[in-house]
Amino acid sequence: MNILVTGGAGFIGSHIARACLEAHHKVTVLDNLSAGSREAVPQGAAFYQMDLRDPEVLNVLKKEKIEAINHHAAQISVHQSVADPVFDANSNIIGTLQLLQNAVDCGVRKFVFASTGGAVYGEQDCFPAGEDHPCRPLTPYAIAKLCVEHYLAFYRRNFDLNYAVLRYSNVFGPGQNSHGEAGVVAIFCQRLNAGKPLVIFGDGGQTRDFISVQDVVKANLLALKPECLGTFNVGTGKETSVKALAESLVKLSGRNSKIEFAAPRHYEQRRSSIDYGKLNKSFGWKPELSLEEGLSETLDYFSNETH
C-alpha cells in the first residue's frame, strides 16, 4: 500500500513510518520540520518538507499515488494552544481540513487520525473512560482534535472516505522531543541526564495514562486494515501520578536528583485514563510493554543521546 505519513519526521510519526516500511508498504513522509528532524525520517521513505496548507500537497498525493494517509502532523503543545488558539486552529483544524479535501480529490481510501484520549474527555466521570464517555475538552488543542473527528464523520458521510480515529493517552518512548511540554517522560529523562531537578507543576497528584510508542505503532498498523473503522482508545487503562512517575525515573536512573514543585497549570485536568477494550475486542490489541520497561528503555535512549 502507498502510505503518506504526515509528521513522519516527528516522534510518533517516524516510528510509524519505519514500521510501515518494515511491513513492506511504500511510505512517503510529509513534514515541515517545525518540530521534527530530517534525521528521524527512516531510510527508504520518500520525504517532502512541506506544510499541510501548501497547495503542492495535492500534487504529492497524486505523484506518490497515495492510497492511505496516517495523519500525525500537528501543533502538539497544549501550552501553546492556550497561549495562541488561532495558531493552533490554523495548524490542527485548517491544515487537516485541507489534507482531507486533498485526500478526497485524489481518491484516498483510508485516513488514520491521531487524536487524543488523554485530553478530549476532559474531567472524567469514570475511570478508565470508554469511547462513549462525554467529550469535554479543556484546551484549544483538545478542542481542535475533537473538531477534526467531526469533520472525518462529515467526509465519511458525504465522500465515502473511510477513517479510523486513534485517541491516544500519554505516549512516551525513545525519540521523543524533550524540548517543550509535549512529553513529561522525555523532559524528566533529559533533566535527569543533565543533573537537574525534576519540576512538577502542581502537587504531583494529577494522574495520566502512559502508553509506550511501541504499542501505539501496533495500533496504527491495525488501523490500516479496511475493516478498522471508527474511533478507538489507545491506552493502558491505568493511572499513574506525575509524582510517582518522577520517583520511578529517579529510582531507575540511580541518580540522586531532587523533585521540585511549581505553580499548577490551570488548564490541566486532574485525572486521566482510557479504556482500550474496544480495540482489544475488535482486533486483539492490548498494551504489551509495562511502564517500568518503557521508562527504562526511554532512559537508556536519553543516556545514549548525551554521550
pLDDT by residue (tens digit) across 263-295? Answer: 999 999 999 999 999 999 999 999 999 999 999
Residue 178 — pLDDT band, cuts 50, 70, 90? confident
Tell me if 12 sits within 8 A of 147, measured CB to CB. no
Q: Determine phi and psi for 304, rounding to 5 degrees.
A: -70, -35
Tell me the pairing of strands 46-49 and 26-31.
parallel
Mean pLDDT over residues 34-50, rounded? 97
Average pLDDT of the residues of the chain = 96
Tell me if 210 sits within 8 A of 234, measured CB to CB. no
Mean pLDDT over residues 235-242, rounded? 98
How confident is the model at residue 307, as a pLDDT? Answer: 55
- State which H helix or E strand residue 303 sits in: helix 291-305
d(CA 201, CA 182): 14
d(CA 238, CA 118): 12
How confident is the model at residue 276, as a pLDDT? Answer: 98
Residue 306 has pLDDT above 90, yes or no: no
Residue 305 — pLDDT band, cuts 50, 70, 90? confident
d(CA 191, CA 183): 12
Tens digit of each residue's pLDDT (9 = 90 or more) over 202-220: 999 999 999 999 999 999 9
Q: Determine phi and psi for 44, rounding to 5 degrees.
A: 105, -15
Q: Which of 197, 287, 194, 210 is nearest to 242 (CA)?
A: 210
Tens digit of each residue's pLDDT (9 = 90 or more) over 48-92: 999 999 999 999 999 999 999 999 999 999 999 999 999 999 999
d(CA 122, CA 91): 21
Tell me if 155 sits within 8 A of 101, measured CB to CB. no
At 165, the amino acid letter reads V
Residues recognised as catalytic: 141
Mean pLDDT over residues 216-241, rounded? 98
How confident is the model at residue 181, as a pLDDT? Answer: 53
Residue 182 has pLDDT above 80, yes or no: no
Q: Which of 252, 256, 257 is nearest to 295 (CA)?
A: 252
pTM of the model: 0.97
Lowest mean pLDDT of 108-112, 168-172, 174-178, name the range: 174-178
Residue 151 has pLDDT above 90, yes or no: yes
Residue 302 has pLDDT above 60, yes or no: yes
Tell me if 233 sits within 8 A of 195, measured CB to CB. no
d(CA 16, CA 63): 21
Tell me if 212 sits within 8 A of 180, measured CB to CB. no
- State which H helix or E strand residue 2 sits in: strand 2-6
Domains and CATH numbers, the chain: 2-171+210-234 (3.40.50.720), 174-208+238-272+289-305 (3.90.25.10)
Supply the DSSP symbol for 88. H
Residue 114 half-sphere exposure, CB side, CA atoms within 13 Å? 28
